[in-house]
Structure 1
Amino acid sequence: MGDAPQLPPPPDPRMLPVLATVTYAAAVIALWGFLSLGLDADAIAQRDAGPLLGPAMVLGACVVTLLALLKVRGRSAPTVAGLAAAASVYVVMLIIGAVGYSLIRADVSWLVLFIGAYAPSPFVLGAALLSGIAVVAVWAATRRA
């Protein structure tokens, strides 16, 4: 009559990079929201960019972060992987934004102008920093386990 309580299955360590990437995406969205409120600025200042350019940049950053998280598990130290992830996210976000906005404007000059305008942006720099932090955190979690 009394069934034995069901124990949950053991955790799957292969899911950690995926869950960390989802957490990274949520952290970037939250960071952009707080920065927008604090700086009274939009993540993408150009009104004609449309509603999808920022999310496309974040999606590209998530893909780069996931790839970095998948590679960090076998390393002895996370420093190079964390720096590489942060630098890669920075470059990928700028490239996706520049290509997307130049396609929207149908003007090739925006490839350079967009990168010049958003290279010092706290939105892009913050997303890159969060990626490096995510890589180091996942490395530390896998070492502890």
Structure 2
Amino acid sequence: MYTKLELLDLANELVVINKTQFENLRGAVSLGKTTSIAAPSTETPQTKPNAWEVKIKQTEVAQLFFQWDNHNVNPITKGLDFNHLQLKNSHFKSQEFPLHFTIYCRQHCSFCRKRTKWFANRLLAYRFFLRS
């Protein structure tokens, strides 16, 4: 793991990371069957919103091994099943990745998968937006 910090501004709640590199990163997430439970209503005290901003200029993850299984959704037989993924020896690169705690916006992201029958050394570039 390698990280180079460019700026840490405590007054303006800003962190700028120039470069992060990870090698041989492994992880797994498995969601079991869930049932609906009525949550008790609780009032939360009003707090100051988290205004911290984190900017990552360049990210690279080499040798990524990750498995994602959502057992609430049945596996599909054709196409790419995003609820049941298994990544082996994958490579992930990203540039200009701003993190805000209310919205995540990605400008350019590339994901390369080598030696597989369904990607066959192709590059998949995409944009995504997530709101919390």
**Smaller-chain TM-score range?**
under 0.3
Q: Normalising by structure 1, what TM-score?
A: 0.25
Structure 2 length normalisation: TM-score? 0.27
Structure having the higher helix fraction is 1
